[in-house]
Structure 1
Amino acid sequence: MVESSFLEQYGIRLNQVDDMSWKEFSALLHGISAETALGRMVNIRAEEDKEILKSFTADQKAERTRWRTSQATQIDEADMEKEMENLEKMFANAFS
């Protein structure tokens, strides 16, 4: 989803980029529009407005439920910090 969103918004094919810094990747990722695949998914997962939720498709409701269920069973905060650090290192290695 990240790759398709970068292509959609910026015209960048991440799998063909050899020299993007972590700082640039991070800045571009933070600027992803709600109109991209990733942006739409984030909106579905984060939506709390009951009126908007009523208009969700069955697929959108299923994704939101799956996400909320996975978040409810997540690891504790200290483990989450460690996992986030690992994820950042992985992206930094991939785009440094």
Structure 2
Amino acid sequence: MFGDWDLIISSFLSQYGLRIRTKEFESVSWDEFKSLLAGMAPETALGRMVAIRSETDKDVIKHFTREQKRIYDDWRNRKAERTRQEPQTYELQMNYLESMMAAICGGG
């Protein structure tokens, strides 16, 4: 989400006419912000980006422009990298939890 902040700002302005970086917007609750974000139309900058990233139709993907293909591939690579890192993160968390439990039980 943070990597898409510029797209979010642009999309809020184009769809809702709201400028996020204003004092007025500070009164918007987190729940309202999430609802507005979830209702983002596919015609916005963020909507177009999400459509490219989530496309599954191989025929549509085959006809992507070079830029769309780059966006699609970058997103898939980021997802693959996170997936590859998750087992390591899980293992580290389990080791930490095990050492904490051992310390609580007098074994550490």
Are 1:65 and 2:63 matched, yes or no? Answer: no
The match for 2:29 is 21
Quote the Cα distance in structure 1 between the aligned partners of 2:44 and 2:28.
21
Question: Residues of 2 paired with 1:7 and 1:55: CA distance?
Answer: 30
Q: Deviations over 1:28-73 (max 9, x none)?
A: 0000011100010001001010111122110000110011001001
1:12 equivalenced with 2:18 (yes/no)? yes
SS in 2 for 1:52: helix
With normalisation by structure 1, the TM-score equals 0.76
> What pairs up with 1:71-90 in 2 under 5 angstroms?
71-74=79-82, 75-76=85-86
What secondary structure does 1:2 align onto? helix
Please identify runs of 4+ aligned residues in structure 1 that moved more than 6 A: none
Cα displacement (A) at 1:76: 2.1
CA distance in 2, matches of 1:46, 1:21: 28
Say how many residue pairs are matched.
78
Which structure is richer in relative contact order (CA contacts within 8 A, separation 6 or more)?
A: 1
Deviations 1:8-40 (A, max 9, x none): 100000011221100110110000011100010
The structure richer in helix per residue is 2
Give 1 or 2 for the bigger CA radius of gyration.
2
Write the distance in 2 (CA, Å) between the matches of 1:5 and 1:68: 23
- Root-mean-square deviation (CA, aligned residues, Å) is 1.4
TM-score by length of 2: 0.68
